[in-house]
Structure 1
Amino acid sequence: MATEKGNTPDRTAIIALTRNGARMARTLAGAFDREYTLFLDRRFREDADEDGDAFESFDLPLRPVVERAFAEYSSLVLFLSAGATIRLLAPLLESKQVDPAVVCVDDAGAFCVSLISGHVGGADQLAQEVARHLGAKAVITSASHATGTLAVDLLGREFGWRVIADSTALTRASAAVINGQPVGIWQGAGEPGWWPHETPLPENITVYPALDDLAASACNAALIITDTTGALDTLLADKITVVYRPRSLVVGMGCRRGVPVEELESLLAETFQENGLSLECLAGIATAEIKRGEPGLEQLAERHGVPLSFFQAEELNEVFETSPGAVTSKSERAHGLVGVWGVAEPAALLTAGAGELLVTRKKTARATIAIARRNFDAAEGSS
Structure 2
Amino acid sequence: MSTENRTVCIVLTAGGVRLAEVLKRSTDCTVVSTKALEGVDRIEPDFKTLVKEAWLNFDHMIFFCSLGIVVRSIAGLMESKFTDPAVLAVDEQGTFCISVLSGHVGGANKLCERVAADLGAVPVVTTATDRKGLASLDMLMLKEGINPKYYRDEIVRVNSELVSGKQVMIFTQDSLTTDGPGFLIRSIGEAKKNSTGIWWHSSAPPEELSHLIWIETPSLTLGFGCKKDKSEDQIRLAVDSFLSENKLHLRQIRNIATIDIKAVEPGLINYAKNEKLIIDVIDRDLIKAMETEFEGSDFVESTIGIRAVAEPCAVLGSRGRLLTTRYAFEGVTLAIGGIK
So what's the TM-score if we normalise by structure 1?
0.58
Q: Answer whether contact 2:105 2:148 (CA < 8 A) is retained.
A: no
CA offsets 1:136-182 (integer angstroms, 9 cap, x no match): 23221111111121121121314532237443222112111221224
CA distance in 2, matches of 1:125, 1:168: 23
On the 8 A contact 1:102/1:116 being kept in 2, the answer is yes
In the TM superposition, 1:264-283 aligns within 5 A as 280-283=252-255
Q: Which has the larger radius of gyration?
A: 1
Distance 2:337 2:59 in 1: 38
Q: Aligned partners of 2:158, 2:34: CA distance in 1, in Å?
A: 42
Gap change, CA 1:177 and 1:10, over 3 Å in 2: farther
Instruction: Tell me which amino acid in the other structure corresponds to 1:156.
Output: M
2:215 counterpart (220, 243, 253)? 243
- Is it true that 1:175 corresponds to 2:147 in the alignment? no
CA contact 2:34–2:50 (8 Å) conserved in 1: no
Aligned counterpart in structure 2 of residue 227 of structure 1, from 202, 222, 230: 202
What is the deviation of 1:63? 4.8
When residues 84 and 351 of structure 1 are mapped into structure 2, their CA distance, relative to the original with a 3 A threshold, is closer
CA RMSD of aligned residues (A): 5.0
Which of 9, 14, 18 in structure 2 is aligned with 1:14? 9
CA 1:209–1:85 in 2, change beyond 3 Å: closer, same or farther? same
In the alignment, what sits opposite 2:148? 163
Provide the rounded CA distance (Å) in 1 between the counterparts of 2:73 and 2:249. Answer: 46
Structure 1 unaligned spans of 5+: 1-7, 254-264, 318-332, 335-345, 374-383
CA contact (8 A) 2:243 2:249 kept: no
Residue 38 of structure 2 corresponds to residue 75 of structure 1: no
Paired with 1:179 and 1:164, the residues of 2 have a C-alpha distance of 23
Q: Which amino acid aligns with 2:190?
A: D
Judging changes above 3 Å, is the alpha-carbon distance between structure 1 residues 22 and 31 closer, same or farther for their aligned structure 2 residues? same
The separation in 1 between residues aligned to 2:66 and 2:162, in whole angstroms, is 32
User: Mapping of 1:254-273 within 5 angstroms?
Assistant: none
Other-structure match for 2:43:
56
Match of 1:46 in 2: 38
AA aligned to 1:41 is K
Alpha-carbon distance in structure 2 between the residues aligned to 1:205 and 1:283: 26
Task: Give the alignment partner of residue 209 of structure 1, picking from 159, 165, 187.
Answer: 187
Q: Aligned in 2, Cα 1:91/1:284: closer, same or farther, shift over 3 Å? A: closer
1:116 aligned to which of 91, 96, 101: 101
31 and 175 in structure 1: CA distance in 2 versus 1, 3 angstrom threshold: same
The equivalences for 1:79-90 within 5 A come to: 79-90=64-75
Distance 2:282 2:216 in 1: 25
Offset, 1:184: 1.5
Cα distance 1:29–1:99, how it changes in 2: closer, same or farther (>3 A)?
same
Relative to the length of structure 2, the TM-score reads 0.64
- Is the partner of 1:307 in helix, strand or coil? strand
Query: Cα distance 1:68–1:277, how it changes in 2: closer, same or farther (>3 A)?
Result: closer
User: Aligned-pair distance for 1:213?
Assistant: 3.0
Look up the SS of the partner of 1:41 in the other structure. coil
Unaligned 5+ runs, structure 2: 225-238, 294-311, 327-334
> Paired residues, what number?
295
Shift of 1:40: 5.4
Q: Residue type of the partner of 2:134?
A: T
CA distance in 2, matches of 1:80, 1:39: 11
> What fraction of aligned residue pairs are identical, expressed as a percent?
24
8 A Cα contact 1:119 1:154, kept in partner: yes
Quote the offset at 1:105 in angstroms. Answer: 0.5
Equivalent pair of 1:144/1:150 in contact (CA under 8 Å): yes
1:67 to partner: Cα distance: 4.4
8 Å Cα contact 1:164/1:244 also seen in 2: no
SS at match of 1:141: coil
| Counterpart secondary structure, 1:216 | coil
CA distance in 2, matches of 1:286, 1:88: 40
Change (3 A) 1:170 1:369: closer
The alpha carbon displacement at 1:92 in A equals 4.0
Q: Does the aligned pair in 2 maintain the 1:25–1:38 contact within 8 Å?
A: no
User: Residue 209 of structure 1: CA displacement?
Assistant: 0.7
Structure 2 counterpart SS, 1:95:
coil
Residue 363 of structure 1: CA displacement?
10
Bigger Cα displacement from structure 2, 169-178 vs 159-168: 159-168
Offset at 1:72? 4.5
Distance 1:18 1:279 in 2: 44
Structure 1 46/351 Cα, relative in aligned 2: closer, same or farther at 3 Å? closer
Q: Distance in 2 between matches of 1:120 and 1:56?
A: 30
